[in-house]
Structures are given as structure tokens and as C-alpha cells.
Structure 1
């Protein structure tokens, strides 16, 4: 019998159930994945597009849904001239099918049973929202602390959900806003928790250095870096 890891590696045709747009910033997909392997918060899926001439393009996107959700929710940030995100945002409709495989990733995955600190910038909040939903559904929201950053309210994915959960939110380019600087991260660092840091290279490098300076053990810091986006977050 195939293991979960072996099943997760198989390409499947997922049916698009719902498509929602986060302004002009991103698209939120809800997918029905056949023979789905239940994910852990923090894991991701790979979407693959295939042209008639056989050319393929694939990109990875973090799961946003809780493991208990019957559907897989992905937050797809729109990238200028992006092959996959452009197609998803402009062409994909409910009822379409998309090739996918997953869930993938062991390092940046929360077990839901031990204390965790999630720090995300821009679209990097996506896997943290999966952690949040899981913590709430299992009745242990006290295990998870969240700090997130975006340019403005409009640029922050799942803002209302994060606000309702009491997440620390920095709005770096909004009037009266703030930043996730060394002092803020130093105040929330928790050596007894696993720190999950997700966002652009510049953002994650800054957050990782702040955590280390605050005494967060290196072994407890897990980082997931996205490609060069830079459109919705600063370095804190």
C-alpha cells in the first residue's frame, strides 16, 4: 500500500470549486482534490499548467485551509508576467480542472500540539492562516501566536480573520502604521516555541536576525522564503 508521501507525489486533476479575487493582488482558489492526503498546516501544493505543445509551467503555493477542510484552499499572488498566476487570475473559473500534487514539505509544518510563533509578510501569511484555522478548530488557539506585516490593510491577505484572532499586525506604509522591527520581534520571541517565518527573502532574513538577536534558538526557527515579490511587504 502506498504511503501518504507516495500518494502526495502523484499528479492529480483537481476540480476548481471556487475562485475569489483579493483585489488586484491575488486569487484565492478552493480545490476538490481526489484521493486527497490530509495536509499539515504549513505544507504546500504544486500547480502545473500544460500547453497543447507539451510545455509545462508549475509553481508552489501554501495551503490556507485547515486539515479538516474537505477542500484545499490556495492563495495565489499575482506576479507581473507570471505564467501560472496570470493564467489562474485571468482564465480559471469554477468547474475547471488544474493539475496538482501535494501536500509537500516537512520542515515548515506545524504539528498543532506544541507552541508556535508565526511571523509572516504579505502573502507569507497564507500558511500561518492554515495554522490559525487548525488551532481554532482543535480548540487550542493559545498554542499559536501570530505577527504579520503588509504595506496597508488592503495588502494583507485574510486581514479580518487575523484581526479577529488577535494577531499583531504591522502596516508599514499606512498612516499611523508600524513595522515588525527588532524591538517588536524581541518582545514576542519565545524560546519554548517553534518560530515559523514566511515571506520574501528580505523580510525573512530580517525577521530571522531579529529572532536570533532576541535569543530564539536557531534550531527552533523555520523559514519559508518566497521568490522575488516585494509588492506587498517591506523588511518589517
Structure 2
């Protein structure tokens, strides 16, 4: 049975980058969700025209409150409206939670490898937050690939030295002053330190643009990671 459409009221919106936004909604009778799941968002125009897009949940279950990360896309009617035009206090419709494969549960043992490209970090941050809230001692290792430092999401949160969390940021086009790695695509050496400490059959979650997901998945397999242990979510 498909999840019901529910009314979601925007209560807060704040920036992650110059264009990306975090949106906080309240959803009456929200059934709860797992870290890594997503929702469909539906907009309905006055003339009845409807548009539906999927967005990852950026935080673990929190009563009737859900958090989404939105990166406006060129020509994207839904993402542009949500990121900059939907008034605080206005409502949209959401359906979910959706997806039960790309999820992390606090009872999962052992190290976890996360790899994010750009806004693909959103569902992985939900896992990091769930991991922190549960007091899990399972090591979390996040490889975060962005074009430049101005495109970092959750800058302070991922730099706070949280226990059992290791973050390696890879800049593909421009690196901040003093960064020892020259800008460039994720390579075997970037994964070696993080993935090398994880068992080959340990879970790896990879999220981002299709090209990034396929590239990182291939690198993991080449490094000996079992394909069945790699869970992916892609866009674009």
C-alpha cells in the first residue's frame, strides 16, 4: 500500500551554501522514518497543474518534524520554488517515508563507509545524526566530494570532531589554501585510508550524481569491497 499524501507546513528555511537550502516542515501524523529514507514532494498550482519531486530526509525521526535539503537546479520548477519562493507558513504535500534499502539502523554493528558527491551528503548526514543520537560506537567514515569549499553543506557540523566520525573532504575544482591534496576527481588513494579499515563485506553507502556514484562504486570494488555491500542512491 502506497504511503498517503500529507500536508506539510514550512516552519523554517536556512542556507547551506549560496544556493542550497535546508527546509524544516511539520507534518501532522507523520509515521516516522529511518535515516537514509526520502519523501516525494507535490506542488499544486491554482490551475490544477501538479509537479512531484523526491528529496532526501536530512535528519533522523523527530516527531512531526522533517528536514529536507534542496539544491536548486537550472530550470527546476520545484527545487527553485522550494529553495527560494515557498513562504514560511505555507503548505505542500509530502508522501513517505520511501525506500528501505538505503538506510542505516542504530543496531547495525561494525564500521560504516559513507561517500557523498555534492548534495548527495544529505541522506548521509541523516545517518551521521542518527549515529550520534544513538550513541553508537560503530566507526563512521565519510568521504565528501565537492567542487570547492563554497559548496560544502553542513560545514560546521561535519568539522566538529564528533566521536567515531572521520570526514575526508575532496575538492575536485578548487581547494582551500593549505589543503595538501591538489583538486581533482576522487581516486583510489582518497578511499584507501577510509575503506582500508572497513571489512570488505561492511556496509558502504554512496550517494550523489550518477557519474560520481558509478565511479566510487567501481573504486570500492577494485579495492576489494563486496558489490553486495555497496548501497547506492543517485540523481541526475
Instruction: Give 1:3's aligned residue.
Output: none
Determine the C-alpha separation between the residues in 2 that align with 1:204 and 1:159.
Answer: 22
Superposed, 1:80-229 pairs within 5 Å as: 80-114=74-108, 115=110, 116-164=112-160, 165=162, 166-175=166-175, 176=179, 177=181, 178=183, 179-189=185-195, 190=198, 191-227=200-236
Runs of 5+ consecutive residues of structure 2 not aligned to the other structure: none
Q: What whole-Å deviation, never above 9, does each CA across 1:54-99 have from its counterpart, x for those lacking one?
A: 2111110110012246521100111011010111123112211111
Q: For residue 142 of structure 1, report the CA deviation from its aligned partner.
A: 3.2
Structure 2: how far apart are the matches of 1:193 and 1:69? 31
**Does structure 1 conserve the Cα–Cα contact (< 8 Å) formed by 2:17 and 2:153?**
no
- What's the TM-score, normalizing by structure 2? 0.88
| Partners of 2:130 and 2:217 in 1: CA distance | 24
Q: Give the one of 25, 46, 57 matched to 1:52.
A: 46
Alpha-carbon separation, structure 1, partners of 2:15 and 2:159 = 20
- CA RMSD, Structure 1 to Structure 2 (Å): 1.7
Q: TM-score scaled to structure 1, two decimals?
A: 0.88
SS at match of 1:183: helix
Per-residue CA deviations over 1:126-184 (Å, capped at 9, x if unaligned) read 00100000000110153422111101221011122112244111122223445531122
CA contact (8 A) 1:120 1:199 kept: yes
Find 1:10's aligned residue among 4, 25, 28. Answer: 4
In 2: Cα distance, 1:20 partner to 1:93 partner: 12
Is the partner of 1:118 in helix, strand or coil? strand
Of residues 60, 68, 79, the one that matches 1:74 is 68
Aligned equivalents of 1:162, 1:77: Cα separation in 2:
19
